């Protein structure tokens, strides 16, 4: 994808579904993408056309006129979108630290993470309701 844009580089879910269909199909018109998506989601022809047009304007797809319709083809690879998505995830949820994501995926706490506050120890004896609420 092109650098220097201010918009989010990861396509929103519906655009991403259309892009995924084109990764599988290679090159296709609106109806072929719509048919491919039909097993998971019923979408209007105009909705798919709008999504493909948006992706074209974002330079994620190219299109060429064949007869009365356009054929769309992805310009961006699935791996490039994955890299962008993982980078966004790391930047937003792991303070930009790849090591924190790795530690999280391995089930451990990252060394730089602050430990969660420990729950207070239960009282030793029975308490009245008022004392327990205070």
**What digits encode the pLDDT tens for the residues 14-24?**
999 999 999 99
Domain 12-104 has what CATH class? mainly alpha
Collapsing DSSP to helix, strand or coil, 55 comes out as helix
Quick one: average pLDDT of 53-59?
96
Quick one: average pLDDT of 94-104?
91
Query: Where are the chain's structural domains?
Result: 12-104
Quick one: average pLDDT of 33-38?
97
pLDDT of 67-88, one tens digit each? Answer: 999 999 999 999 999 999 999 9
**Residue 3 — very low, low, confident or very high, per pLDDT cuts 50/70/90?**
very low
Angle between the N-to-C axes of helices 13-25 and 30-37, in degrees from 0 to 180, rounded to the nearest 10:
110
Contact of 60 with 74, CB cutoff 8 Å: yes
Percent with pLDDT over 70 in the chain: 75
Q: What is the pLDDT of residue 111?
A: 55
For the chain, give me the number of helices (H) and strands (E)? 6, 2
H or E stretch at 63: strand 61-66
Q: What is the pLDDT of residue 9?
A: 82
Q: What is the value of pTM for the model shown?
A: 0.70
Contact of 41 with 49, CB cutoff 8 Å: no
């Amino acid at each position: 994808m092109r650098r220097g844009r201010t918009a989010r580089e990861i396509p929103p879910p519906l655009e991403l579904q259309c892009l995924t269909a084109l990764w599988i199909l290679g090159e296709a018109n609106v109806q072929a993408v719509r048919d491919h998506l039909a097993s998971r989601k019923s979408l209007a022809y105009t909705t798919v056309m709008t999504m493909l047009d948006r992706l074209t304007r974002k330079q994620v797809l190219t299109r060429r006129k064949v007869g009365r319709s356009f054929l769309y083809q992805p310009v961006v690879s699935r791996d490039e979108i994955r890299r962008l998505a993982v980078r966004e995830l790391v930047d937003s949820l792991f303070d930009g630290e790849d090591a924190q994501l790795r530690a999280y995926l391995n089930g451990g706490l990252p060394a730089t993470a602050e430990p969660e506050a420990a729950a207070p120890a239960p009282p030793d004896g029975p308490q009245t309701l008022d004392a327990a609420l205070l």
